[in-house]
Structure 1
């Protein structure tokens, strides 16, 4: 029996699968789930959790041939699972079963600014108000990072050094508490709270944890090296020391998310100790050519074994690029050779036809991709920049107001977003007398304070909100009809303001509204198609959007431009990794910190090189223009991760 078969046929007890890049870990995980569920007479359920919505969708796709899979397994992210727990049992901790999530960083920033601006918080404000705009931005960012870090740790307040003075611990406690109080006052939660409240439900009501323990006989954690403290504690409280049918799959060498509180020790050390887990290793890379495996094993000694691949592969370092433009040019010229060649060829081996999407250009940071992106456009080569989120964002002001209004309809005590509407219309009236009104009545009240010109469009918004408010069955398309009337010929003159750049083109507000409505309808169509009738509602739709659980169906056919973090778990025939200079990768702050931070930079490099199947190209510029000053040009030295790799070229 092969190691893969042993894992697939494992029945009882905790199991840790340490899987190298390209070793087929996701297939082994899904095949084990299929094996467990093949007997339809069994009534148990399976819980499979991962960290991104796209990874969850891939697991669902691989399990789609299992009969009644949606009834026998919950497959999703930690956040989507915790949201389900809150929706089912939020009453146990006096929380709404339809939580209102302030998911945007802008929301959290505005909430914290409200804390500082409260008259009684002079002791906090003195650390904030005398700073310039850039320092204030940094101060708020540090504060929010700290709050998020503490929530992920499920911990209290500790000494932190971004406030001055002897009483900083008390001030941090106050800031943290008042931020949370403002969320509670507005019947809202931030992204981190989704895990915290689910944990609190299980902690305060052990009977509910037992309910889930009995429901899910087998638990699976994919990419387990990315677990943070809160996620691991959530797993422990569900299992309660008695449930041990847990399987984790991960790779220590692909641990990249220390900034998110992630630590591979939860998988590698704690899980083995707490669950008495058996360990199995998958070391054979079935993805990459021999040459790329050589490079990977130079990054980490004996990281993996090669399969019986007949392809030697291609490896080259572009080490003679004078600057970023020369680096971009070297990459694009090599891409053009492959496209002209048509198929990957070496030593008599001829592969499949090379398409644009078979080629990826990766970098440590997004800004490093700018030069090569511009050059691809100049050369007429299609490309697309991989995004970290498929969240819906509006560009037109009208649809931004429409979206703010949706939040007020479903959560009338949402002062934060109601204040944003008032600010857009420059309304300074006291809103305390509106506190007892319904969401729709609040939105109607604004009509009395805006100009006659603004009333023309605001009346259309009110029509749409009223339709949604009065619906027995949620139908967003019906509610958009009044706004869509703008595009009747006689109404187009109503919206003619020049608009900022949209995807590189200057457009008017009317066109931006069209784009926004098309995007909104695309998300709504996916929601309407995939959501059971009994769950459909405006509140449920907005919550699903907040957590990024509605994934648009995209078929991109261009050369992929991506940060290395976003490329994790993916593979491409031909990979270029640019910006391999000291300061970019490893990142200069990580190098200054050393230790774990520098180790994670090495993991990032390892992930980058193991995305390649056939060919791998590494590059760096000899000089770089600093992003904060176009006149500042710095001489660069090659990344330390390139040491010893030149001799592997072919």
Structure 2
């Protein structure tokens, strides 16, 4: 189902109707989906762009009214727009001298798999020849070393970055590990060293002596980035083994995973009791005690004033066990809902439209574990990018013919430029993934980094504690 939904979404982003698809089976499913939307008097997320494009394209009167109403247009992340979004922009501001302000970086175009096309930002000057282009020359985040290295990755033929850093910075640490477990151990030990040791055992095992030259202030200064979520378990184990707190930002937000997803659906139904699809979905789950009267009773409860109180009532009545079985997820839901108080509409909009990075909390004392895609737009003092192997970066393990190598190159660039001070790029000689054992060479992208910018090393195995020599009482 998810695969079909993704194909329909991509078709809509390309402004294709069911009759325009070559795949007959997909076209039939797409048409049935559109009919169901009409029956429910509903739009999906992609329709919010596709339908206005069709309306403005087919009605000159409507187009003129809308253009007059919005004489100024500002667009962020222009490199990530798709064809439907580009069509909307051109309908809103079609003239060469239109009042349009766009921000974008072609080197950070990493959403081609969602239908984004970075050719639109490259032809911006052709679309708007009267526009003035302001190129940024200085990065106030990354060091010169990180900018040089990331520039050599994303533009190997040009051999460098167009941006200047505000300081020289330290060398890029490229670390060879024997396995994914030793890689995870290297990450955890290094964080522990930076923090000056988070356990008494750290001093005893010589992981740290508490006097590191560049100690970190907070665990939130660190991020561990990865290409695939399947690489997370070993990192999590290492974090737990070393007593390092962390927050995981996955490919799918926690509020779209069970049981939180069902709890949120109940709140949606309370607010939208006529939502037939939602009603049917919850009915099929056979939730004990859930009925129209019980939901109406919650809605009319005058003692409930906030979203958090709604969730507390829903969980108490229908899902009491999850407070124990899924305590962390429920606490995250409560914490997120507190930020919105009683504004249920805005909160539900976030849950519908939000991305995994929206759940990231930079104020918590935790190391961030997230995909490189989710890290876009964020920054950290110290960044680890694990799995820098040919087959993972670029990701070609099962799709050598379909992977966009240049987009994979840009993805690593985005990951590298999240780092403000130190950057670690690690690779494993042997890695277990998807139930298989792989022996992958180092990522070819890393070979483009000049040697003078690199500090190379091998992950050390854990040092065994030396046995204290004690004289025998009877010797």
Confirm or deny a common fold (TM above 0.5).
yes
CA distance in 2, matches of 1:389, 1:241: 40
Task: Note the 1:197-596 alignment, pairs <5 A.
Answer: 197-241=51-95, 244-269=98-123, 271-276=124-129, 277-299=131-153, 300=155, 301-309=159-167, 311-319=168-176, 321-340=177-196, 353-387=216-250, 392-393=255-256, 395-396=258-259, 400=262, 403-404=265-266, 406-407=268-269, 410=272, 412=274, 414=276, 416-425=277-286, 454=288, 457-458=289-290, 462-466=293-297, 468=299, 508-509=321-322, 511=324, 525-528=338-341, 542-543=348-349, 545-548=351-354, 554=361, 555-588=363-396, 592-593=400-401
User: CA offset at residue 618 of structure 1?
Assistant: 1.0
CA contact (8 A) 1:591 1:598 kept: no
CA distance in 2, matches of 1:229, 1:479: 40
CA distance in 2, matches of 1:640, 1:318: 15
Offset from partner CA, 1:549-582 (integer Å, 9 cap, x none): 9967943221111111111122211111110111
CA distance in 2, matches of 1:259, 1:145: 10
Offset from partner CA, 1:387-414 (integer Å, 9 cap, x none): 45657357559x9378347438626362
CA distance in 2, matches of 1:568, 1:232: 22
CA contact (8 A) 2:222 2:381 kept: yes
Q: Kindly tell me: are residues 580 and 308 of structure 1, through their superposed partners in 2, closer, same or farther at Cα, counting changes over 3 Å? A: closer
CA contact (8 A) 1:407 1:417 kept: yes
User: CA offset at residue 624 of structure 1?
Assistant: 1.1
SS in 1 for 2:195: helix
SS in 2 for 1:576: strand
CA contact (8 A) 1:362 1:608 kept: yes
SS in 1 for 2:152: helix
User: CA offset at residue 261 of structure 1?
Assistant: 0.9
Q: Kindly tell me: are residues 463 and 402 of structure 1, through their superposed partners in 2, closer, same or farther at Cα, counting changes over 3 Å? A: farther
* Cα RMSD, aligned residues only: 3.8
Is 1:607 matched up with 2:414? yes
SS in 1 for 2:50: helix
- Count how many residue pairs are aligned between Structure 1 and Structure 2: 433
User: CA offset at residue 302 of structure 1?
Assistant: 2.9
Is 1:637 matched up with 2:435? no
CA contact (8 A) 2:138 2:166 kept: no
Q: Kindly tell me: are residues 623 and 229 of structure 1, through their superposed partners in 2, closer, same or farther at Cα, counting changes over 3 Å? A: same
Task: Note the 1:170-209 alignment, pairs <5 A.
Answer: 170-209=24-63
User: CA offset at residue 458 of structure 1?
Assistant: 3.5
Task: Note the 1:62-101 alignment, pairs <5 A.
Answer: none
Q: Kindly tell me: are residues 275 and 318 of structure 1, through their superposed partners in 2, closer, same or farther at Cα, counting changes over 3 Å? A: same
CA contact (8 A) 1:159 1:169 kept: no
User: CA offset at residue 515 of structure 1?
Assistant: 7.6
CA contact (8 A) 1:285 1:305 kept: yes
CA distance in 2, matches of 1:385, 1:482: 27
Q: Kindly tell me: are residues 312 and 526 of structure 1, through their superposed partners in 2, closer, same or farther at Cα, counting changes over 3 Å? A: closer
Tell me the TM-score normalised to structure 1 length: 0.59
User: CA offset at residue 218 of structure 1?
Assistant: 2.8
Specify every segment of 5 or more residues in structure 2 that has no aligned partner in the other structure, as ranges: 199-212, 456-475
Offset from partner CA, 1:150-205 (integer Å, 9 cap, x none): 10011235787xxxxxxx64443322111111122122232212222232343355
User: CA offset at residue 281 of structure 1?
Assistant: 1.7
User: CA offset at residue 293 of structure 1?
Assistant: 2.5
CA contact (8 A) 2:173 2:423 kept: yes
CA contact (8 A) 1:219 1:246 kept: yes
CA contact (8 A) 1:391 1:548 kept: no
Tell me the TM-score normalised to structure 2 length: 0.78
Corresponding residue for residue 12 of structure 2: 151
CA distance in 1, matches of 2:449, 2:353: 42
Q: Kindly tell me: are residues 476 and 464 of structure 1, through their superposed partners in 2, closer, same or farther at Cα, counting changes over 3 Å? A: farther
Q: Kindly tell me: are residues 579 and 563 of structure 1, through their superposed partners in 2, closer, same or farther at Cα, counting changes over 3 Å? A: same
CA contact (8 A) 2:174 2:424 kept: yes
SS in 1 for 2:196: helix
CA distance in 2, matches of 1:193, 1:159: 17
